[in-house]
Structure 1
Amino acid sequence: MKQATHNPRLFFLDWLRILAFGLLVPYHVGMYYVTWGWHVKSPAASSTLEPLMLLSAPWRLGLLFFIGGAALAQAWVRAQAQGHTPARLLRRRSARLLLPLVFGMLVIVPPQSYFEVVQKLAYSGSYFEFMQQYLQGYEGFCRIEEGSRQCLSLPTWNHLWFLPYLWVYGLIGWLLLHQAPAVLAQCGRRLAALGPWGLLLGLAVPLILARQLALAFPSTHNLKWDWYNHAQYLSLFLLGMLASHAGSAFWARLSAVRWPALVGALAAWALLLVYFDAYDGATPPETLRVLMRGVWGLMQWWSTAAACGFAYLHLNADSAWRRRLGAAVFCVYILHQTVIVLLTQLLAPLQLTPLLEGLMLVLMTWMLCALVYGLARRVLPAPLALLLGVDGAKTPDPQAGRAAATIAALATVDAKSPQ
């Protein structure tokens, strides 16, 4: 690897994004086997994997929003250096996020909803008949769940919910970069001057407070009414922007507290496991509930801080693999969940053991997504490849590919966890 000594690009954040996307496929395969709600469920679903799933559920998406904020700030600086207007950056960003969203809702996502109503509601119509109802916004796919009537909203964005959220947060960030650069620079300087306690506890406060909203505003991925998710993810996105303004001093300080952050995150995870096990099916005392929501928020930030601290120390370097994988992750994100759902239905009649079936789902999903990405990159015209999140250029270029990699950094997956 070539060391990034003189390059302002934060290569370690690119690697973190790639590693976070490395968890994407196994995590959503895991969702097929746990008792938490998901689109389709294995007959062998149980709580066995849930402790392991809980190890990443609180922080994985937040990390990607944090990286997204830093990536936007970096893209702004590069656009200015290249003489590009802010409007051009916004147009490119909008195209890269919203066009795949629309295409995904019309083409990629519907099979997930189809097999969901087949499995959960015993729907007997064909896929063609379902698509007619899907496009008409049919509201009749309902069932009683946890004592209330739950209806499937159509059309839906399912795992692509991250794209509209990211676009809205990016628009807020774009306005701040355009209208209040001095304020952001000042906040960045203050961030860079924080000591260990400020880094470990002070920066966790927004997430501790956000978690208190979880019961009143449970995660819905309804952009207009999802205040708990907005509170946690927007705060992390903006913190990522400020971290980019703070520069290397902030990352170095964060790296210095990486071990306390890691130990704290693991201790918080252990406390959450005990808490959820002790009150499985029971209502905890309100004071304890508030405290444990605080522990959840601490785990979110400490895990993010530890990941960034270790990555800054060990992964702040460039390589051809970074460029290749960074260019592919957006396409994998768009495709992966539908591929998983389709493969579960394909493998179900074989009645394989959960371990063998799960390993096959992970490997086959990666292979199929890689195949589609390769074909899209080499065969499709640039406008069509863009719909799958693939840059039209035939060969990754370190200069021209940066904007595409920046947008690719801002995509991820739906992760559902216990409230």
Structure 2
Amino acid sequence: MSTPQQFAAQERRIDLDWVRILAFGLLIFYHVGMLYVSWGFHIKSVHRLVWLEPVMLLLNPWRLSLLFLVSGVASRFMLGKYQLAAFARARSARLLIPLAFGMLVIVPPQSYLQIVESLGYPQSSYLQGFADFYVQHYLAFSAQFCPTPCIVQPTWNHLWFVVYLWVYTMALAGVLALWPAGADWVGERLGRVLVGPRLLVLPCLLFAAWRLFLFPTFPSTHALFGDWYNHADYATAFLIGFLLARQESVWRDIERQRWVALAMAVACFAAFILVYAGLFPRSPMLRWFAGSVYGCYQWAAMAAVLGFARRHLMTADGPVRRYLTDAIFPYYIVHQTAIIVIAHALRGSGLSAGSEAALVISGTALTCIVTYEVARRIAWLRPLFGLRMEARSSGRIAQRQPA
């Protein structure tokens, strides 16, 4: 078993940086896809792409859980550099400042355009209408425009991830304040349990249990309170990453079993899609089967991604990785607002679905790049976009630990 000293010598996990970059990068494509499928979203395109739903279901069960797992690993390594109180302060500043800024500045256009497209809004211009909406409704701190769409204002929308990550981090800090040796003690024992086939089977059973027993009663809301299925799912992934971050034997085993995990993921996803497609009559047994394969697909897909990333990206360092490691959190903050604003502007343009989506994707990517390039160069903007306050050195900004 590797010692903390051995891990301290390893400055960062390059493979997990890439996993985080790729997972956040998928958000742009995923949220653009939400414009075209039957699932609820803030605004919708006039086009519907039925074939897109199975493609998005390929990502939906595990992409966010994987991000929480990687965040758990990053939190464990950060604790090797900070005292617990300093760690809690640093994480709070890194997460809560951009959350507050995002809710007050970045997110409001999403809510406004949702109301414009759902109900219309009296206006002589978009600027005047948005200003009136912001003052009269967005800052009302209550449910607005009920019953359709009945949204609580102000809202965090896609920034719910930041809220949940902060809550899990602070809860973990509270436990470690009472039991400082808990992370190592539990991590070591968990590492001994998750060996061989148990590495794939036991977490699979846990995620399946959440799907079977919590999801039917507590469907996903991202509203923090009462969102118990999501909390069980994401907190489990976060704790797995945190507790196993220093268990090198487990990471080697994940790499060794990557092909098994991939085969397991393919089989579980195929079974889930057959149920989702409605090829079998609904029954309690079918519901149990669907929930079980969904939960197992979650973990198998995560294990496969982590295993292949460790195998092929462990040493894939370079300027692109360093740049994107710093940029990806600002990209995340602004991407959904960019998608909604651009998609709304293209409404009624008569473009095909492919042309429309290409413009939304390219416009969103450009918005993300420009936002980051501006924010990283202006000291007071940096913390608002989740970047640390730091001095320039030789004309460039040093890269730091990811969120």
TM-score normalised by L of structure 2: 0.91
TM alignment of 1:17-416, pairs within 5 A = 17-79=20-82, 85-125=83-123, 126-132=129-135, 133-143=137-147, 151-193=150-192, 194-212=194-212, 213-246=214-247, 248-278=248-278, 284-317=282-315, 318-378=317-377, 380-381=378-379, 383-393=380-390, 404-407=400-403
Deviations 1:306-352 (A, max 9, x none): 11111111111232222210000000000000000000012223221
Aligned residues of 1:377 and 1:390 also touching (Cα < 8 A):
yes
Other structure's SS at 2:143 match? coil
Relative CO higher for 1 or 2, CA cutoff 8 Å, sep ≥ 6? 1
Instruction: Say if 1:283 and 1:153 are closer, same or farther in 2 by CA, change over 3 A.
Output: farther
In structure 2, distance between residues paired with 1:140 and 1:165:
24
Instruction: Say if 1:101 and 1:29 are closer, same or farther in 2 by CA, change over 3 A.
Output: same
Other structure's SS at 1:406 match? coil
Aligned residues of 1:336 and 1:365 also touching (Cα < 8 A):
yes
1:130: how far off? 0.9
Aligned residues of 2:326 and 2:402 also touching (Cα < 8 A):
no
Aligned residues of 1:110 and 1:131 also touching (Cα < 8 A):
yes
Aligned residues of 2:94 and 2:387 also touching (Cα < 8 A):
no
Aligned residues of 2:84 and 2:177 also touching (Cα < 8 A):
yes
Aligned residues of 1:103 and 1:387 also touching (Cα < 8 A):
yes
Deviations 1:224-269 (A, max 9, x none): 11000001000110111111132x2110011111001111112211
In structure 2, distance between residues paired with 1:59 and 1:44:
27
Deviations 1:111-142 (A, max 9, x none): 11111111112333411121121101353412
Aligned residues of 1:323 and 1:396 also touching (Cα < 8 A):
no
In structure 2, distance between residues paired with 1:346 and 1:48:
25
In structure 2, distance between residues paired with 1:179 and 1:273:
45
Instruction: Say if 1:310 and 1:152 are closer, same or farther in 2 by CA, change over 3 A.
Output: same
In structure 2, distance between residues paired with 1:179 and 1:66:
23
Other structure's SS at 1:139 match? strand
Other structure's SS at 1:32 match? coil
In structure 2, distance between residues paired with 1:187 and 1:385:
36
In structure 1, distance between residues paired with 2:284 and 2:119:
36
Instruction: Say if 1:262 and 1:181 are closer, same or farther in 2 by CA, change over 3 A.
Output: farther
Other structure's SS at 1:290 match? helix
In structure 2, distance between residues paired with 1:77 and 1:385:
25
Other structure's SS at 1:360 match? helix
Q: Share of identical aligned residues, percent? A: 40
Q: Find runs of 4+ consecutive structure 1 residues off by over 6 angstroms.
A: none
Aligned residues of 2:176 and 2:182 also touching (Cα < 8 A):
no
Instruction: Say if 1:99 and 1:8 are closer, same or farther in 2 by CA, change over 3 A.
Output: closer
Other structure's SS at 1:350 match? coil
Letter in 1 for 2:269: W
Letter in 2 for 1:153: V
Q: Which segments of 5 or more consecutive residues in structure 1 lack a partner in the other structure? A: 80-84, 145-149, 408-419
Other structure's SS at 2:47 match? coil
Aligned residues of 1:184 and 1:245 also touching (Cα < 8 A):
no
In structure 2, distance between residues paired with 1:313 and 1:375:
35
In structure 2, distance between residues paired with 1:368 and 1:8:
31
In structure 2, distance between residues paired with 1:143 and 1:86:
45
Aligned residues of 1:324 and 1:396 also touching (Cα < 8 A):
no
1:6: how far off? 5.7
In structure 2, distance between residues paired with 1:396 and 1:298:
47
Q: Which moved more, 1:117-126 or 1:307-316?
A: 117-126
TM-score normalised by L of structure 1: 0.87
Other structure's SS at 2:152 match? coil
Deviations 1:149-188 (A, max 9, x none): x521111100001111100101122233443343322332
In structure 1, distance between residues paired with 2:392 and 2:272:
46
**Root mean square deviation, CA, Å:** 2.1
Instruction: Say if 1:370 and 1:337 are closer, same or farther in 2 by CA, change over 3 A.
Output: same
Letter in 2 for 1:295: V
Aligned residues of 1:75 and 1:406 also touching (Cα < 8 A):
no
1:77: how far off? 0.7
